[in-house]
Amino acid sequence: MSAARPRLRVGLVGAGFSARLHAEAYRQVRGIDVTLARVAAGRPDRARHFAEEFGVESVAGAADEVLGAPDVDVVDLCVPTAIHGRLAVAAARAGKHVIVEKPLTGCFAPPTTPRAEMLRRALADSDAILAACRESGVRLCYAENWVYAPPIQKARRLLAAAGGPILRMVGEESHGGTHAPVNTRWETGGGGSLLGKGCHPLGAALYLKADEGRRLRGRPVRPRAVTAEVARLTDSEGFRAAGRPFLNLVPGADVEDWGMLLVTFDDGTVAQITGGDSTLGGIRNQLAVYGARAVVLCNINPNDSVQAYAPDPAVFGDEYLVEKLETKAGWSAPQPDEDWMTGYPQEIQDFAEALTAGREPLSGAALARDVIAVVYGAYLSAAEGRRVDLTPYLAP
């Protein structure tokens, strides 16, 4: 076994939340010798601490050092979305494969920027990344973990067995407010709930229809049009009058805290996708898939594999229950292994296998770009109050 073990040397840019998730997942890769070769972070002490904790071989002074390091095969960008584009292009030009967290990129501009302009710029930036990868002959791995979440993959297999098209999907990711203040402003986050939360169920929905199309007609089913609405539900007199806010409000936030988009696919079927930062009760990660011959409901979170009850919020101490749950009292649905159920180790395993075997990952460049086209198309739809034809915006 061990003789022929392939090898992958990873350079990490970023040492925060998602870098940690990835590092945990790299540890679990099977059949491939994964080395964390370099890490860089804005705050050097954080990079050092991270390197110690996860056994990274060397701490880089800056991102560019990671990109240029000869002992790095793939650069994993765990940084704010706003710098994805620049770093991804640079990494690709340096001949490195690129792993980029979702969303691929965006438009980072004042909230008054016309949405048509935002759509144009977000796609231009996406295309620059894709072109750089293509030209350098490296692969883009799009870290959309929902593609790898076990319920989504089981849905894919069940639907393939059943045959016939998916007629409709209903997906949602929502919780009580984003982690990162950077994601609450257009200029730094590129959008709100629809981009940051909605991209997950949207990514899974696009993936499932593309997969279905390849199976049933030899080419992916693609999105054709989008209709959307967005709102700042917590920005109202009624909300402010309701007393202590249990939702996670961030001063200065200007992005939507809820959005809903309706994708029509080129085969006439649909997906209803919601992203929310104004939903109490812990994170909801759900995709219902209604097919012509079967139904599959994916409950990534919550599901009832474990149900826990505490008579008092202090009872469970520091033990993790559920992302973004406002109280640890009462009944809750803690995931026994949230990373696994959410697809992180499976995603990294696929990336490692794809990159060492020279094949496309399940979640790659085409999906990354489609998500950008649909989400920014949705922003345009919501702003202008009209359905947006996506045909002009999709890559062929």
Question: By the 8 A CB rule, do 106 and 195 touch?
Answer: yes
Distance, in Å, from the CA atom of 90 to the CA atom of 75, rounded to the nearest integer, reads: 10
Using the rule CB under 8 A, which residue among 83, 109, 116, 162 binds its own copies?
A: 162
> Which two tokens mark 356?
């060492």
Question: Rule CB under 8 A: is residue 167 a binding residue for its own copies?
Answer: yes
Using the rule CB under 8 A, give the single segment among 10-18, 88-96, 136-144, 286-294 that binds its own copies: 286-294
Question: Rule CB under 8 A: is residue 317 a binding residue for its own copies?
Answer: yes
Distance, in Å, from the CA atom of 78 to the CA atom of 252, rounded to the nearest integer, reads: 24
> Which two tokens mark 303?
């599901």
> Which two tokens mark 133?
């990868």
Using the rule CB under 8 A, which residue among 124, 131, 180, 315 binds its own copies?
A: 315
- Sign (positive or negative) of CA dihedral 70, 75, 77, 78: negative
Restricting to residues 96-135, which ones interact with its own copies according to CB under 8 A? none
Q: Contact letters (x/-) for its own copies, 37-76, by CB under 8 A?
A: ------------------x---------------------
Using the rule CB under 8 A, which residue among 116, 249, 295, 394 binds its own copies?
A: 295
Question: Rule CB under 8 A: is residue 260 a binding residue for its own copies?
Answer: yes
CA distances (Å), origin 175, targets 203, 281, 348: 18, 7, 25
Question: Rule CB under 8 A: is residue 2 a binding residue for its own copies?
Answer: yes
Amino acid at 10: V
Distance, in Å, from the CA atom of 287 to the CA atom of 173, rounded to the nearest integer, reads: 9
Using the rule CB under 8 A, which residue among 6, 111, 114, 163 binds its own copies?
A: 163
Q: In the bound complex, what is the minimum distance in angstroms from residue 275's beta carbon to its own copies?
A: 12
Restricting to residues 339-378, which ones interact with its own copies according to CB under 8 A? 340-341
Return the half-sphere exposure (C-beta side, CA atoms, 13 A cut-off) of residue 163.
0
Cis before 361 (ω within 30): no
Query: Closer CB to its own copies, residue 33 or residue 52?
Result: 33
Query: Closer CB to its own copies, residue 251 or residue 317?
Result: 317
Using the rule CB under 8 A, give the single segment among 44-52, 83-91, 100-108, 317-325 that binds its own copies: 317-325
Query: Closer CB to its own copies, residue 188 or residue 239?
Result: 239
Residue with tokens 């639907």: 159
